[in-house]
Amino acid sequence: MKTVITDLDGTLLIDGKLTEEAVHVLKDFQKKNRLVLATGRNNQHVQDICQQLEMAKYQTGALILLNGLSFYDYQDNEFLQFRLLTSKDVKKIIRIAYLLFFRITVVTKNERIQLNSLYDRIYYVLRYLIKHKPMISFPKQILPNEVEKIELGGSIYFDFFYKILKKLLSSSYEVVRVSQYWIEILPKETNKVNMVQYLVNKYDISLDDLYVFGDGENDVEMLKFAIKSYAPQNALDKAKISAKNTCLSCHDLGVIQIIKTLLKYD
């Protein structure tokens, strides 16, 4: 049995969706092999993909969610959930991210809460001063007690402010660049590779039968861990450096092309 562990956005999916060919190949793969989806998404936002792939039917795969913060095994229904961000964590992160002009999304189990950025406030003040248009009020938003992760994007001078953000927060949290203009912040020591290693030990998976795919900084450690790891051509440089191989971009179905070669050898 071969095991494929693949990231979703930017790796397996095209604009957040599976193609018909991908669905067909991955269903065929699951008949005799193990498919593991390793993603920054939470359980709610991965269920449509799992249903398309009929993972519950095949009962061989697993889900590594929230970059390793939670785990679900279809084979024995094991579910693991690790420490979430507290309200104190969230307030600290938001305060720093706000001053660095990031657009902030707070992700909980059941909702995504989008906060206004400092850039938005400056824009409306300037609009009022220059064009005399009415000011827009920003109501105070109540934040939940437990948060799965915080997503950041859209800051001006993104690279510059990202470096400052990492310097200020990386000692206490995982600050990961998922794509060119997208950052995720999670509890310290949250990493996909922890759950990859757990799965390898649980089922005594040979590294010769393990294939790992990823495109972002949140995939770096699992790409390093695997002997047969692949970064698509559209991946961030850190992912390409960490992977042992490259494959075609997500838009050219690079992951699917590799899996099709595996099926030929079955």
* pLDDT > 90 fraction of the chain, expressed in percent and rounded: 81
pLDDT, tens digit, 9 for 90 and up, residues 27-43: 999 999 999 999 999 99
What pLDDT, on the 0 to 100 scale, is given for residue 200?
98
Predicted local confidence at residue 124, as pLDDT: 63
With b meaning 16 or more CB within 10 Å and e meaning fewer, what string describes 144-174? beebbbbbbbebeebeebbeebeebbeeebb
Task: Report whether pLDDT(2) > 70.
Answer: yes
- Tell me: pLDDT of 211 over 80: yes
Whether residue 125 has pLDDT greater than 80:
no
Query: Taking the CA of residue 78 as centre, how many other CA atoms within 13 Å lie in the half-sphere pointing to its CB?
Result: 13
pLDDT confidence band for 136 (50 / 70 / 90): low
Q: Assess whether pLDDT exceeds 90 at residue 141.
A: no
Q: What is the mean pLDDT of residues 210-226?
A: 97
Q: Is the pLDDT of residue 116 over 90?
A: no
Q: Report domain 85-187's class.
A: alpha beta
Q: What does pLDDT average to over the chain?
A: 92
φ, ψ for residue 117, nearest 5 deg: -95, 165
Query: What are the backbone angles phi and psi of residue 51, rounded to the nearest 5°?
Result: -70, -40
Q: Are strands 3-6 and 34-38 parallel, antiparallel or unpaired?
A: parallel
What tokens were used for 175?
Answer: 């600050």
* Separation of alpha carbons 229 and 4, rounded Å: 10
Tell me the pairing of strands 245-247 and 228-232: parallel
Above 70 in pLDDT, residue 193? yes
pLDDT digits (tens, 9 = 90+) for 79-103: 999 989 999 999 999 999 999 999 9
Over residues 147-172, the mean pLDDT reads 92
Span 224-266, pLDDT tens digits: 999 999 999 999 999 999 999 999 999 999 999 999 999 985 5
The answer, yes or no, to whether residue 139 has pLDDT greater than 80, is: no
Task: Give the alpha-carbon dihedral of 82, 194, 66, 204, to 10 degrees.
Answer: -100
Distance CA 191, CA 222 (A): 8
User: What Å distances lie between residue 244 and 177, 214, 247, 263, CA to CA?
Assistant: 20, 11, 10, 21
Residue 118 burial (C-beta neighbours within 10 Å; 0-12, 13-18, 19+)? middle
Average pLDDT over residues 68-72: 96
Beta-carbon contacts of 147 under 8 Å, excluding residues fewer than 6 positions away, are: 84, 85, 86, 87, 89, 90, 106, 107, 108
Task: Pick 111 or 26 by higher pLDDT.
Answer: 26
Say yes or no to pLDDT of 105 above 70: yes
User: Domain-by-domain residue ranges, the chain?
Assistant: 3-82+190-265, 85-187
Confidence of residue 14 (pLDDT cuts 50, 70, 90): very high
Residue 17: DSSP 8-state: B
CATH number for 3-82+190-265: choose from 3.40.50.1000, 3.55.50.30, 3.40.30.10, 3.40.50.1370: 3.40.50.1000
